Structure 1
């Protein structure tokens, strides 16, 4: 038995709908600009290939949590996303087999320190300080794919304090789930426990301390997160 010089950290995990069990999280991959309207919103070409960035596993937060407003920003943005949870390992997975590697789906919110990626891009620097911050990957309970199927269409939405800001359909994804899983697996060997946040539709915007975000994906579930005061 391995002896560690410091206590080992808790295993990051996500709830599973209708089950006391939890889904242990290994890594988090996020897709940028995967809805045409959002790509145009950011001034990018919707035909560009997808790109990925990562978050630490312990950035996950359960639905219902209150998240302190993070440091280094005055412009924290919400991004509602369908999350795909990987259940089978695979490297260079073909698009035709990609969905066989998805264990289930959830509703996530990618929280972004908006001004930092803009500054990092201009300086040709990394995005981690904007994307991989603490508690930046809230995720609602996962639904096994054997129950939900593999969603290809359906409403995806987010409201702040009851006011809808993002409202789109999964059919508007530039790169569908099978493509995203396949393309991601070209660079890394996907493993059980990996989560893929598949991109956000147009309408992203700022949230402030005291705001409550609610969102959902038809046939998958909902999520609710409150932004608290800074630490």
Structure 2
């Protein structure tokens, strides 16, 4: 598994971590979690460079959330923190596109977030970096620019829950398969995205992807 097509074609699910950066939780007025907050995007969410980002029908408030993605290399079930890093094949960057108005409505009624988070094309992904290319994933910088202007920028060492903690917790309940992606949360700076916007995101000096909003 050495390319984007490898994990995109293998993945059975995209496990996402909510509120894993304190500044992002606070910007949306949310409580800081005491344990990892998990939800899932289905694989219809994946799009790659050259494909447009399209808001779902009726969405009036589409947000971008740049995230470091962990790509699983081998079947992982009930693993320990001490072994967790050995299950990682590599890394990617992704946008967790969120129909914020859909999500806000769902929260008010106590309904699931599925349509807000898992609509077609809601997970634009960049390239693949082998694990050896990022010896310490807690010491890289995420960035997201909209129309050339910085919108999000943060180092990964400020995540509330580190990657071994996330993998140990998730695999207590859900088996991760080769190619599955774990999105590790987004820092502050999410904002409304409009038709015609160009979103560039990645890991500074390592990986960049660019998408246009239709």
TM-score by length of 2: 0.93
Q: What corresponds to 2:192 in structure 1? A: 206
Secondary structure of 2:127's aligned partner = coil
Q: Match for 1:153 among 139, 150, 153? A: 139
Q: Match for 2:117 among 131, 138, 141? A: 131
Q: Match for 1:101 among 87, 105, 130? A: 87
Q: What corresponds to 2:180 in structure 1? A: 194
1:158-177 equivalent positions in 2, closer than 5 A = 158-177=144-163
> Is the aligned partner of 1:58 residue 2:44?
yes
TM-score by length of 1: 0.87
**Partners of 1:143 and 1:116 in 2: CA distance:** 33
Structure 2 contact 145–151 (Cα < 8 Å) conserved: yes
User: Counting helix residues as a fraction of each chain, which structure ranks higher?
Assistant: 2
Residues matched between the structures, number:
212
- CA gap of 1:182–1:219, structure 2 versus 1, over 3 A, is farther
The one-character-per-residue Cα deviations of 1:41-69 (angstroms, maximum 9, x if unpaired) are 12223243221111111211113422233
Q: CA RMSD in A?
A: 1.7
1:15-54 equivalent positions in 2, closer than 5 A = 16=3, 22-23=6-7, 24-54=10-40
Displacement, 1:40? Answer: 1.1
Gapped runs of 5+ residues in structure 2? none
**Partners of 1:63 and 1:25 in 2: CA distance:** 18
- Of the structure 1 ranges 52-61 and 102-111, higher mean CA displacement relative to structure 2 is found in 52-61
**Partners of 1:227 and 1:176 in 2: CA distance:** 31
Secondary structure of 1:22's aligned partner = helix
Secondary structure of 1:225's aligned partner = strand
Give the number of the structure whose alpha-carbon radius of gyration is greater. 1
**Partners of 1:45 and 1:66 in 2: CA distance:** 33
Q: What corresponds to 1:4 in structure 2? A: none
The one-character-per-residue Cα deviations of 1:123-173 (angstroms, maximum 9, x if unpaired) are 111110101100000111111102322411121110110111111111111
Structure 2 contact 44–119 (Cα < 8 Å) conserved: no
Displacement, 1:219? Answer: 5.5
**Partners of 1:64 and 1:177 in 2: CA distance:** 30
User: Counting strand residues as a fraction of each chain, which structure ranks higher?
Assistant: 1
